[in-house]
């Protein structure tokens, strides 16, 4: 038993590993292309950037790879439809859709060759996605970084969703190494998605302090906060998070109306940008609950080699 290539609609990933689409310029062209060049699926973070910036990122990615890549975008953002339309016009392979559910995205992508891959956390959402035309779903459990749709682990979600749909299922949420990948494949996953592991790689061009926060994080440093989007979010405790958890509000001095609905408890775009730019105390560092298990920064090539080797070795042992 070993990792197999993954076919979703019109495209094939030679290695069934997705790189999580981390937004506000965390998943950018150098990382996305590096993942695609290793046979995986790279995802540009399509939230927290303008349509013009997205198009530029797609063009940069195409210059660097002939591999499979797409865009991850939140339904909750104000320019969701514009981001989707631009992704279609620029002919990416897929659009991964999270933080809400959209039926309109299926209509827009119909017959364009661009696959819709919803991020789901329930049997019902997976079944609706399949019925609307999704050729795969990403099942994200409660150990993921960022906005969470559930507090149930992906390992507990997988069996029910796998039994409920016929389309490929990509497991996500708290996965950091090849052993995690093998566990998900053994539960029936056709592929996996990892986010934090790809922050800690050479090609991820966030500020070095961003990576330092991840590398120094301990198990007890992870917590959840209620995002202005309306979802709980998993993040690393720092000065901002600790103060927010005490007061549950932070003064918003300006607003760009980036979200369809926003509680304005704090400006999430501003805080994520601070993190992207290396402000370790005041930024919001979304991270999965197992980020503390990652203790090195490697090249994307080295990460893939290590993940595939570990996964295949464990799958072989499980098959005995």
Q: What is the pLDDT of residues 103-113, one digit of tens each?
A: 889 999 988 99
Strand (E) or helix (H) holding 242 = helix 239-247
Residues of the chain with pLDDT > 70, as a percent, come to 98
Instruction: Please give the pLDDT value at position 220.
Output: 96
Tally Cβ neighbours within 10 Å of residue 111: 5
The pLDDT value recorded for residue 261 is 75
What's the pLDDT band for 302 if we cut at 50, 70, 90? very high
Q: Which pLDDT score, from 0 to 100, does residue 1 have?
A: 65
Burial class (CB in 10 A: 0-12, 13-18, 19+), 49: buried
- The token pair at 194 is 């990892």
Q: In the predicted model, what is the mean pLDDT of residues 152-163?
A: 96
pLDDT at 152 > cutoff 70: yes
Q: In this structure, are residues 21 and 138 in contact, taking their beta carbons and an 8 Å threshold?
A: no
- pLDDT higher than threshold 90 for residue 20: yes
Helices (H) and strands (E) in the chain, counts: 12, 13
Give CA–CA dist 177/77, Å, rounded.
Answer: 31
Environment class of residue 193 by beta-carbon count within 10 Å: exposed (0-12), middle (13-18) or buried (19+)?
Answer: buried
Q: How many CB atoms lie within 10 A of CB 261?
A: 10
pLDDT score recorded for residue 147: 86
- From 277, 149, 201, 181, select the one nearest 42 (Cα to Cα): 201
Q: What is the mean pLDDT of the chain?
A: 93
To which H or E segment does residue 41 belong?
Answer: strand 41-45
pLDDT at 249 over 80: no
pLDDT tens digit string along 84-95? 999 999 999 999
- With left for phi above 0 and alpha for psi between -120 and 50, is residue 173 left, alpha or beta? left
Give the mean model confidence (pLDDT) for residues 78-89: 94
How far from 158 is each of 73, 176, 266, 297, CA to CA, in Å? 23, 17, 34, 29
Mean pLDDT of 244-255: 77
Extended strands (E) in 122-209:
137-140, 146-148, 169-172, 191-194
* CATH superfamily of domain region 6-205+295-319: Aldolase class I (3.20.20.70)
Tens-digit pLDDT profile for residues 274-301 = 999 999 999 999 999 999 999 999 999 9
Question: Averaged over 179-201, what is the pLDDT?
Answer: 97
Q: In this predicted structure, what is the pLDDT of residue 258?
A: 73
Strand, coil or helix: what is 74? strand
Residue spans per domain, the chain: 6-205+295-319, 208-291
Number of Cα atoms under 13 Å in the Cβ half of residue 40: 27
Q: Which residue has the higher pLDDT, 150 or 44?
A: 44
């Amino acid at each position: 038993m070993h990792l197999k290539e993954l076919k979703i609609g019109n495209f094939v990933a030679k290695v069934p590993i997705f790189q999580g689409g981390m937004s506000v310029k965390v998943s950018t062209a150098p990382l996305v292309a590096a993942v695609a060049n290793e046979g995986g699926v790279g995802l540009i973070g399509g939230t927290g950037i303008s349509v013009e910036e997205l198009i530029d990122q797609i063009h940069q990615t195409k210059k660097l790879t002939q591999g499979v890549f797409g865009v991850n975008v939140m339904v909750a953002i104000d320019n969701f439809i514009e981001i989707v339309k631009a992704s279609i016009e620029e002919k990416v392979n897929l659009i991964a859709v999270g933080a809400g559910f959209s039926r309109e995205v299926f209509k827009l992508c119909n017959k364009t060759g661009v696959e819709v891959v919803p991020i789901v956390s329930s049997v019902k959402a997976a079944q609706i996605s399949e019925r609307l035309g999704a050729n795969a779903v990403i099942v994200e459990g409660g150990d993921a970084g960022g906005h969470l749709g559930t507090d149930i682990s992906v390992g507990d979600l997988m069996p029910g969703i796998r039994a409920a749909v016929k389309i490929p299922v990509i497991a996500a949420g708290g996965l950091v190494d090849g052993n995690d990948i093998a566990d998900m494949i053994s539960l029936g996953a056709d592929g996996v998605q990892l986010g934090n592991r790809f922050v800690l790689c050479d090609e991820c061009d966030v500020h070095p302090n961003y990576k330092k926060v991840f590398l120094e994080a301990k198990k007890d440093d992870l917590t959840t906060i209620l995002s202005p989007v309306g979802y709980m979010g998993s993040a690393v405790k720092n000065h901002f998070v600790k103060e927010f958890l005490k007061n549950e509000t932070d003064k918003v001095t300006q607003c760009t109306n980036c979200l369809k609905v926003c509680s304005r408890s704090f400006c999430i775009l501003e805080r994520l940008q601070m993190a992207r730019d290396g402000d370790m105390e005041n930024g919001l560092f979304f991270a999965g609950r197992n980020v503390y298990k990652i203790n090195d920064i490697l090249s994307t090539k080295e990460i893939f080699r290590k993940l595939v080797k570990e996964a295949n070795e464990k799958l072989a042992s499980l098959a005995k």
